[in-house]
Amino acid sequence: MSKRNGLSRGDARRNARLVRMRGIVRPDRAILAIDLADSKQALVLCDHDSRVLARRSVRGRAWQLDGALRWGRAAAIEHGFAGIVVGCEPTGHRWRIVAELCDQLGMELVCVQPLLVGRAREQEDLTRDKSDPKDAVLIARLVAGLRCYLPERPDQVWARLRQLGARRQQLTTAVGASRQQLRDLLECAWPAVLEAAAEPLDSATWRAAVQVALARSGGELATLRRLGAARFARAVARGLARWGAKRRCRRIVRAVWAAATTPQALATGVDAQRPGALERASLTLDDWHHTLGQLADAEQRMPGVLDTLDLTGLVTTIPGLSAVGAAAILAETGDPARFDSARAGQARRAVPPRQRARRLCGHHPHLRPRPPSPAPGGLAGHLGRAGAQPGPGRPPRPPHRPRPQPAHHGPGPHRARRGPAAVAVGRGHHPHPLAGRHRRRPARPPQGGDRPGRLTPAGQRAGRARVAPWDHPASEHEQPRPSPPKARIQDVGTNPVAR
């Protein structure tokens, strides 16, 4: 269905955004572009044709640019403009300081994506040479072309939620790094202790037992035998509360004790690295415990911000979403009221709306609903029994697990008379002129795949042949591949053949 004005919803939203940006970057305002840095700031005043009207370099911090902003407005008035609009990159926290100064002086501030500046730097002189004066001119050019946006100006509550979300993400990364570092150190110096539990790093008993063993031995596991198994078990029971557990697993305690006192277990590992690696593992375990406590504190503070915004009762009505998870999502996206539509909010969360809609509607091959079983007669009788379709109830077969083939006791009287051409037709493609001779096959990726033109199990049910992407001739010349033709089904034997 065609629309009367010929505009899509995307065109309408884009036009509205350009109108809003043009109301800020007006033709009667000059553009003051700033390349922000630590102690030296590069400023350039340009018109809408990227002609440089004035330049200035300021040695100072970002919060010392109030005088430079006044200079830019005075220079723009001298060249016949009514005022200025300030443009910069959102580098770190400095742009927030510039935004605060612009609000105090009654100026508008827009931001330009650093990725666009990098691409514009290559388009300028086909090089990647970077300099602060050149980047300031590129920022002004992008602002004149409306390749900019209005930065978010959150209030104190939303700003606090954003900071807590950033801290939670940082602590989550630190927890994962501590886990991986602890595993690496123990694999080098004490690999037998990693076999004490099925998931050792997820077991509170294992953590407490390893912490007691490292603290009492001081890097020399042979001295732990003086403690005794009973005293070791009681020390582990006392250390469980530190990891948030109450009951210990005696099997894991005995396995850790055996790994620390058995000569066969101590024979594995690098002896030269053992004292230093175990000392570092003990410190890493303490850091891990401390980081977990900080992460729990941050996650306890975030729902309190939702209570201030009166959003806790709303987000907890979503099935499968906790208050901490909702707070983490809102900390990343910001106030949902600043988006024009739900589609814009999904784009902010890096979820392609079209791909998400295809998945929800069942167009994705792994989420396609299973069709009903056909009747034994009619067309289904000629095509054979339909196999199980991949869907929510039954996942697709992994590529490393081949489908079992029925055993043949011997070739039948008609099977022996099948030549290369008949085999080719049975596979679903035309016979090759060199089918009877030796022909070199193209190399396939190591993960496996289907032969060119061969009917896959899914293709047999759908009645079409699928050509592997890596076998197409266009892939060798880096050309776009043609669209697959529509298959025509012909009743040949018991399988449909696409030709």
Q: Does residue 189 carry a pLDDT above 90?
A: yes
**Residue written as token pair 């403690």:** 227
Token pair listed for 42: 């590069």
How buried is residue 174: exposed, middle or buried, by Cβ count under 10 Å (0-12/13-18/19+)?
middle
Q: Does residue 412 carry a pLDDT above 80?
A: no
Report the amino acid identity of residue 27: P
Q: Where residue 7 falls among pLDDT bands split at 50, 70, 90?
A: confident
Q: Does residue 365 carry a pLDDT above 80?
A: no
**Cα-flanking dihedrals φ and ψ of residue 66, to 5°?**
-65, -40
Note whether 160 and 305 are within 8 A (CB): yes
Radius of gyration of the chain (CA): 34
Q: Does residue 362 carry a pLDDT above 70?
A: no
Q: What is the pLDDT of residue 63?
A: 93
Q: What is the pLDDT of residue 251?
A: 95
3-state secondary structure 330-368: HHHHCCHHHCCCHHHHHHHCCCCHHHHHHHHHCCCHHHC
Q: What is the pLDDT of residue 333?
A: 87
Nearest residue to 331 via CA among 187, 175, 163: 163
How buried is residue 101: exposed, middle or buried, by Cβ count under 10 Å (0-12/13-18/19+)?
buried
Token pair listed for 135: 């980047």
The whole-model pTM stands at 0.64
Average pLDDT over residues 93-107: 94
Q: What is the pLDDT of residue 9?
A: 84
Q: What is the pLDDT of residue 497?
A: 41
Q: What is the pLDDT of residue 424?
A: 40
Q: What is the pLDDT of residue 465?
A: 42
Pairing mode, strands 40-46 and 83-88: unpaired
Dump pLDDT digits (tens) for 21-33: 999 999 999 999 9
3-state secondary structure the chain: CCCCCCCCHHHHHHHHHHHHHHHHCCCCEEEEEEECCCCEEEEEEECCCCCEEEEEEEECCHHHCHHHHHHHHHHHHHCCCCEEEEEECCCCCHHHHHHHHHHHHCCEEEECCHHHHHHHHHHHHCCCCCCHHHHHHHHHHHHHCCCCECCCCCCHHHHHHHHHHHHHHHHHHHHHHHHHHHHHHHHHHCHHHHHCCCCHHHCHHHHHHHHHHHHHHCCCHHHHHHCCHHHHHHHHHHHCHHHCCCCCCHHHHHHHHHHHHCHHHHCCCCCCCHHHHHHHHHHHHHHHHHHHHHHHHHHHHHHHHHHHHCCHHHHCCCCCCCHHHHHHHHHHHCCHHHCCCHHHHHHHCCCCHHHHHHHHHCCCHHHCCCCCCCCCCCHHHHHCCCCCCCCCCCCCCCCCCCCCCCCCCCCCCCCCCCCHHHHHHHHCCCCCCCCCCCCCCCCCCCCCCCCCCCCCHHHHHHCCCCCCHHHCHHHHCCCCCCCCCCCCEEEECCEEEEC
Nearest residue to 248 via CA among 287, 215, 203: 203
As a whole-number percent, the residues of the chain with pLDDT over 90 amount to 53
Does 3.30.420.140 match the CATH number of domain 9-144?
yes
CA–CA distance, 100 with 40 (Å, rounded to integer): 19
Of 15-19, 243-247, 342-346, the range with the lowest mean pLDDT is 342-346
Average pLDDT over residues 215-226: 87
Average pLDDT over residues 347-373: 47
Q: What is the pLDDT of residue 8?
A: 87
The DSSP element (H or E) to which 158 belongs, if any, is: helix 156-189
Q: What is the pLDDT of residue 403?
A: 58
Q: Collapse the DSSP code of 7 into the 3-class scheme (helix H, G, I; strand E, B; otherwise coil) and give the result.
A: coil
Print burial letters for 230-246: b (CB count within 10 Å at least 16), e (below 16).
Answer: eebbebbbebbeebebe
Average pLDDT over residues 233-257: 93
CA–CA distance, 354 with 126 (Å, rounded to integer): 35
Average pLDDT over residues 246-273: 92
Note whether 296 and 303 are within 8 A (CB): no
Q: Does residue 199 carry a pLDDT above 50?
A: yes
Average pLDDT over residues 92-121: 94
CA–CA distance, 331 with 320 (Å, rounded to integer): 18
Of 84-88, 342-346, 383-387, the range with the lowest mean pLDDT is 383-387
Dump pLDDT digits (tens) for 33-80: 999 999 999 999 999 999 999 999 999 999 999 999 999 999 999 999
Domain boundaries, the chain: 9-144, 166-298
Average pLDDT over residues 282-309: 95
Residue 4, CA distances (Å) to 8, 10, 19 in order: 10, 15, 22
- C-alpha angle 67-68-71 in degrees, rounded to nearest 5: 90
Of 130-134, 316-320, 407-411, the range with the lowest mean pLDDT is 407-411
Q: Where residue 181 falls among pLDDT bands split at 50, 70, 90?
A: very high
Q: Does residue 136 carry a pLDDT above 80?
A: yes
